[in-house]
Amino acid sequence: VLIVLAFERYSAGRSGQAGAILATAAAIKLTPAAFLLIFLYDRDLRAAAAFVLTFAAFALLSILLVGWDAHIVFLERVRQFDGHIIATAHNQSLSVIWAQISDWSAVSDALQLETPMLTLENPAFLGAAMKLVFLGSVLALFRQTRLLDHNARLAVRVLGVGIMLAL
C-alpha cells in the first residue's frame, strides 16, 4: 500500500512526499528500497533526498528506542542468512532454480514438502550474479520504457521492478 501511495504521489508531482513514503515502506521491510532506482534513473534528487533523509530518521529513531545492541544482533542474523538459499515448495526464485540444477536430490525434498524448508549454502558468485541480473534487467526495462508518456512509463517501471524483485 505504501509503495502504491508513494508512486501515486510521484505521478502527481510530489517527489518529496513520494520519497518519504517509500522510505517509510523500506523502514518496515527493506525490499521497497529497490524502487529508489526509479527516482535515481529519473534524476529526481528531491525524491531521492527525501528517501535518504526519512530512512535515516527512522534508523536513528529505531536506535534510540531499542538500542544499538539489538541492531547488532539483528544485523548478525541477516548476515547469517545472506549467504544461503532458502528452498521451499513456494519459493520459485532464480536462486532456488540454481539450487535445483546444482543439487537436485537435496532440493527435491523441500520442493515436495517432505522437508518444509531447506537452507542451502549460496555460492559467493551466485549472490553477485543475481544482483547483476536484477540491475541489468531494471536498466533494460527503464531504457525500453523511456519513450512512453510519463504515467505509462511510471506504471510499467513500478510493475517491472516489483516483478523482478521476486526473481
Average pLDDT of span 84-92? 68
3-class DSSP string for 36-94: HHHHHHCCCHHHHHHHHHHHHHHHHHHHHHHCHHHHHHHHHHHHHHHCEEEECCCCCCH
Cβ 10 vs Cβ 41: under 8 Å: no
* Mean predicted confidence (pLDDT) in 33-38: 97
Burial label for 145, CB within 10 Å (0-12, 13-18, 19+), is middle
Percent of the chain with pLDDT over 70: 82
Nearest to 33 by CA among 46, 41, 24, 45: 24
- State the Cα–Cα distance between residues 153 and 159, nearest whole angstrom: 10
pLDDT tens, residue by residue, 6-24 = 999 999 999 999 999 999 9
Decide if 141 contacts 157 (C-beta within 8 A). Answer: yes
Enter the C-alpha cell of residue 99: 539450487
Q: Read off the pTM.
A: 0.81
Decide: 3 and 158 in contact? Cβ < 8 Å. Answer: yes
Please check whether residue 7 is in contact with residue 158, taking contact to mean a CB–CB distance below 8 angstroms: yes
110-149 pLDDT, tens digit each:
555 566 666 767 777 777 888 899 999 999 999 999 999 9
Q: Within the chain, what is the greatest distance between any pair of CA atoms? A: 52
CA atoms within 13 A of residue 121's CA, in its CB half-sphere: 3
Virtual torsion, Cα 104, 107, 111, 114, nearest 10 deg: 120
pLDDT value, residue 85: 73
* pLDDT (0 to 100) of residue 41: 96
pLDDT per position as a tens digit, 50-79: 999 999 999 999 999 999 999 999 888 888
Q: What is the grid cell recorded at 135?
A: 540491475
